[in-house]
Structure 1
Amino acid sequence: MSAPPRRVRLRPWLLAQVSSCRFSGLQWLDPELRLFRVPWKHATRHSPPEQEDTIFKAWALETGKYQEGLDEPDPAKWKANLRCALNKSREFQLKYDGTKETPVQPYKIYEVCEHSAGADFVDEDEEEMPNMMELSLNPRISDPPSFGPVVPMSSDLQDRGGLCNGLQDLNPPPAPMMEASSMGQNHQTCKYDLLSSVPLTDLDLKVQYRGRTAASLLVSNPQGCRLYAGHLEPSPDQVELFGPVTLQQVQFPGTSEIQNQKQKFYTDALLDVMDRGLILELWEQDLYAVRLCQCKVFWSGSSASMTSCKA
C-alpha cells in the first residue's frame, strides 16, 4: 500500500528534472529555459520494465503515489497523475501536443510561465479521482449499482438561465457540452435534454463545441457508455482507470472543423484531460455520471430543483 501522498511544488521539482538530463527525451528547447519537451509515449500497465523509468514514475515516487517494491507498477496511472498536475498548474502552458498529430508524435512541449501569486502545490483533495453524481429524474434517491457512494450535488442553480450563464462565463471556453435524453413518451426540451420513460434504456447524446453540434448518436447499451478523448481503450485489468469493458465506448470528435484557432486551442486543451473519460449509466429512473478524469458535469431536467456538479 502506498505511503500517504505528499504536497510537492511541481514547478521547482519539474524544472530540476528537465535540467538534470536524467530522462531520455526530457530536455530544454531554448537557451532561455522557457520551453521544454516531455516524451509522451503510450503507456499501459504492462509496459516493458525498461519503459517504466520515466518522469511520470519519478513524479509518482516524489508525491508518494507509488512505492517501489510495494505497489504494482502502473505507467498509465503515473502519466495521468502528472498530466493532471500540469493541466491544473498556472505555471506551465501546453504549447504543442504531438499525440494529436497524424501520424502521432510521442511528445508534448510546455512553456514555463511567469510565477503566479499562489504556490503551485499538488492538492490531494483535487486529485483526479472518480466521483459519483446522481442526475435524478424524480425526488427519490436510490443507490447506484456500482462505483461506490453518491456524492451530493454542490450548488443550486435558480433557473435554466443560471446554467447557461455559468457555461458562457467560463474562461477559457467551456468543456464540450453533452445533451443526454432518455427516449420515451414524455418529451421535454431543455439545455441538456433529460427525458423520462419506462423502461429507460436509451441515451440520445449530442456533443457540442461552443454551441455547435459536433456529433450525435443513440446509445442503446443497457450498461451505459464511456465518453472519452484520445486513444486509451478499456481492458479487464484496468477497470479502475477506464471503467467496465461492457460500456459502449463513445469517442469525442476531433476539433478540425473549428475555424477559430483560439477556440480550437482551448477545446483541444480541454479534451486532453478527457483521456480517461466520463461514464453515463442508467439505473431504474436515475442517470449517474462517473467522472474518471478532471471534468465538469452540469445538468438540467424536470426535477423540482436544478443543481450543478463540477470537479
Structure 2
Amino acid sequence: MANGPWRKEEERVPISNGPVLRTGGPLRLRDWLVAQIESGLYAGLRWEDPDKTLFRIPWKHAAKQGYQAQQDAALFRAWAVYKGKHLEGTDKEDPSTWKTRLRCALNKSIDFREVRERSQLDTSHPYKVYRLVSDHTSRPGYQAQDLGHPWSPVPCEDFNSPDYWLHVRLFYGPALVREATARTAEGCHLSPGTAASAAAQRLLGPPARLAQVHFPEPPPGARVLRRLLPHLERGVLLWVAPEGVFAKRLCQGRVYWRGQLAPHRAQPNKLEREHTCQLLDTRRFLEELHAHLQDGRPEPEYQIRLCFGEEYPGPPDQPEERLVMAHVEPFFARDLLLHARRLRPGTPRGPQQGIPGWPLTVNPSRDASPSPTH
C-alpha cells in the first residue's frame, strides 16, 4: 500500500505522470517511454545507440537474487500509474502485474520490436533491448464526424466500448464451427482448445481481459486437422487500436491472411511470426466510406480472413474454403458501414444487416460459446 516501502523511495522513484504529461493530452506508449529514457530517473533504462533507435529496459525477475521492488519495478509501476491501473493509496502493490502490463503493451505496439539477440536475461542485471520501429505519433484517432452522424470514438481504455470489439467466426472447411464476439479492448487470442503453452502464457500475461477464442475439438475422423492444430498451439493475437486492426502470429504453424491492407490480392500473404502486422487502416477505411457516401464508390473493405496451415488463396482449381479459417470483423467498421447504408436511398434495412449470431460475448479468459453448423 501507499505506506509501504514505495513511500520511502518517493523522492527518488517517479510514481506519477512526472515529465510526460503535455497539454495535448495523454501520451502514447512510444512518447511516454522515450520521455522516461530521456529523464534519466530509472537505473538501467537507457539508449543503446547514438541514433536513439535502440533502448534497454531492466528486466529482473522478482525471484532473482538481489531483487528490489522499489528500483527494479519502478518503471513498470510508473506505467501502471500513468494508465490509471494503479491508484495511490487504494490499490495493492503488485509488481508482477505492472510488469505484465508493460510487456503486453510493448508486444502489441506497432512502434516497438524486441531485439532478442541483444537482450540479456541470464545475467545479474538482466535487460531487454527494443527497437523503435517507426514514428506514428502524428496519426489522428477516428475521424467519423465527416460522415454526418455523431459516432466519433476517441482513443480510450473503455473496455466496454464497441470501438474495440471483434467478431470472429471459425471454420473447418465450409462448416462454421464457432462464432463469438470479443468484447474487450485487450483483443482476442485465437488458438486450439488445448491449454496454451507456458511460454505463450508468459508472453500474453494474465488473461484477465484478453478474450480466448478456441478452435473446437475436430471430429474423430479428421486426421489432417488433428495433426495441424498442435502446430497452432500458441495461436494468433488480434486487437483493435485507433489506427486500425492488428495481428501478431505466435504459433509455429503458418498463417495467411486477406484484407484491406494485404499487399497481394491473388497471391498468399503470410503473417510473419512474432511481428505485429496491421490488417486494416482506420483512416483509409473512413476515406473510402466517405467516397462511398459522396460519390457512390464501392463499399470499403473491412472484413479480414485468416487461413491456418495452408496457403491462401489456394490454386484456382481448389475451393475457396481451406481446412482452418477465421473470418474477423471489427465492430466499429461494421457499424459505420451499416449506418452508411441507411444514409443511402434504396438500401434495404432490417436485422439481416447484422452479424449472424449477434450478440455473442466472450468472457475474458474463457472460451467462446460454440455455434456448430451441421
TM-score category (smaller protein): 0.3 to 0.5
TM-score, length of structure 2 as denominator length: 0.37
TM-score, length of structure 1 as denominator length: 0.44
